Homo-oligomer: A and B are copies of this chain.
Amino acid sequence: MAEQAKRPVKITETILRDAHQSLIATRMSTEEMLPIIEKMDKVGYHAVECWGGATFDASLRFLKEDPWERLRKLRAGFKNTKLQMLFRGQNILGYRHYADDVVEYFVQKSIANGIDIIRIFDALNDLRNLECAVKATKKENGHAQVAICYTLGDAYTIDYYVNLAKDIESMGADSICIKDMAGLLVPYQATELVTALKKAVNIPIDLHTHYTSGVASMTYMKAVEAGCDIIDTAMSPFALGTSQPATEVMVETFKGTPYDTGLDQNLLAEIADYFRPLRDKALEKGLLNPKVMGVDIKTLLYQVPGGMLSNLVSQLKEQKAEDKYYEVLAEVPRVRKDFGEPPLVTPSSQIVGTQAVLNVLAGERYKMVTKETKALLSGEYGRTVKPFNPEVQKKVIGDKKPITCRPADLLEPELKKIEAEIAEWKEQDEDVLSYALFPQVAMEFFKYRKAQKTGIDITEGDKENKAYPV
């Protein structure tokens, strides 16, 4: 391949965010990260993803750490490497839509505390839910990477992705991420998709996937051959299974080819040596379940994320209706169609899954509905790729007039009010944002923080084991 021009692929390292979020319920602490970041800073990664996603919530809730303090410490150590965070559009890092003033302030403070690249996505791929965050990022001179949730379904043609990518470029995004939460993008499909996107836009393409279904490294390989600029990988001790392909493996694979990353395997080996005992500890403690290290091909068979399948099983167990599993599995794609065929990712995966269970158990479709189903069919989450099934919508929301505007346009500014609520606990400006996103959890943390200073320990970290791979 000597004749081909060099086109080194760039590596975004996920071990400090997505890898431990996916494998060990986001439980890696700042203390466990700091001793190795000087070495990581020498690797020459395109970026290190280290903040956002579930790490913010998990820091406050389980680790009793201030996430802002973590960010500042990482920034101090990573002198030459770009730091990246994951940002859920108008949901920021939380679970509801926030007013624009909160979104803008969060972006501002994220960048002020050290973030370089903000990866912004919306569960419905409704770009209106990203506008505010993207604008704020540009205003703060950050790199705005907009992520497309990758999913399968009639509506999700190559043309759909191409048009979305063009709109993203027009929005002023600096790069595009194909975000394949469930590992649904198979290798030869990646060839087609990346080839089409590279033709359609000029900004760099980053591919993010998970090893869940076992195809991820091959998918990266085909994507890179088709022109993908950046791939997301995790150092081997926290790679594979529900996490990303291993960094060292992809580096080795492309060595001596036009895509050679140029990264130093011996340096990576030293970094892996540091993380390996953390993996062993997680295995011992049961935090890392060997079951998530295998291959779950059912994700591809049913086109449903692995986590959603296990949720269905446990919901049916609770109702003593495990015999309805295959009926529910058949109902899922029908509900998804009724709901405008959204990608199945938090929160749409839960909404669709729960409604499918209710439809089967009630013996009549949409006889029982959740409030989230109502909100979704009222347009409160935004616009889906296809219209809602009008009959289902009518049955669920009656004569209520659905929202068609950008949902956040209906939200009043809320920062002032939040600021007032926690005035007595505030030790830094950023506390307002912690409280805005997770009022209860942040308040408990503030109390804990105060108690630490006064020497009285009034609370303890919640040890419940929750995983949110995104």
Contact = CB atoms under 8 A, between A and B. Distances in A.
A187 interface: yes
A246 B216 CA distance: 13
Contacts of A187: 221, 253
Interface stretch (A116-124, A201-209, A233-241, A354-362): A233-241
Contact of A186 (B214, B237, B240, B253): B253
A294 B279 contact: yes
Interface stretch (A167-175, A295-303, A407-415): A295-303
Main secondary structure of the interface of A (DSSP, over half): helix
A272 interface: yes
A287 interface: no
B214 A295 contact: no
B269 A297 contact: yes
Interface residues of A, number: 43
Contacts of A296: 236
A293 interface: yes
B290 A293 contact: yes
A252 B300 contact: yes
Contacts of A222: 221
A294 B237 contact: yes
A290 B23 CA distance: 13
A188 interface: yes
B248 A295 contact: yes
Nearest to A214: B249
A214 B188 contact: no
- This chain: copies in complex: 2
Contact of A246 (B214, B268, B280): B214
Contacts of A245: 214
A214 B257 CA distance: 18
Candidate in A214, A215, A237, A252 with the most chain B CB atoms within 10 angstroms: A214
A1 B298 CA distance: 26
A279 B289 CA distance: 13
B215 A265 contact: no
Contact of A240 (B280, B295, B301): B295
Contacts of A297: 236, 246, 248-249, 252, 265, 268-269, 272
B217 A218 contact: yes
Interface in A402-456: none
Contacts of A253: 186-188, 215, 218
A267 to B, nearest CB: 11
Contacts of A217: 214-215, 217-218
Candidate in A1, A217, A237, A295 with the most chain B CB atoms within 10 angstroms: A295
6 smallest beta-carbon distances between A and B, as pairs: A214-B249, A290-B290, A248-B297, A236-B295, A246-B295, A293-B293
Given A268-B297, A293-B293, 6 more contacts: A187-B221, A188-B256, A237-B294, A240-B295, A269-B298, A280-B291
23 contacts: A188-B257, A213-B252, A214-B236, A214-B240, A214-B245, A218-B221, A218-B253, A221-B222, A236-B295, A236-B297, A239-B294, A239-B295, A240-B240, A240-B294, A248-B295, A248-B297, A249-B295, A265-B297, A266-B301, A269-B298, A290-B293, A293-B293, A293-B294
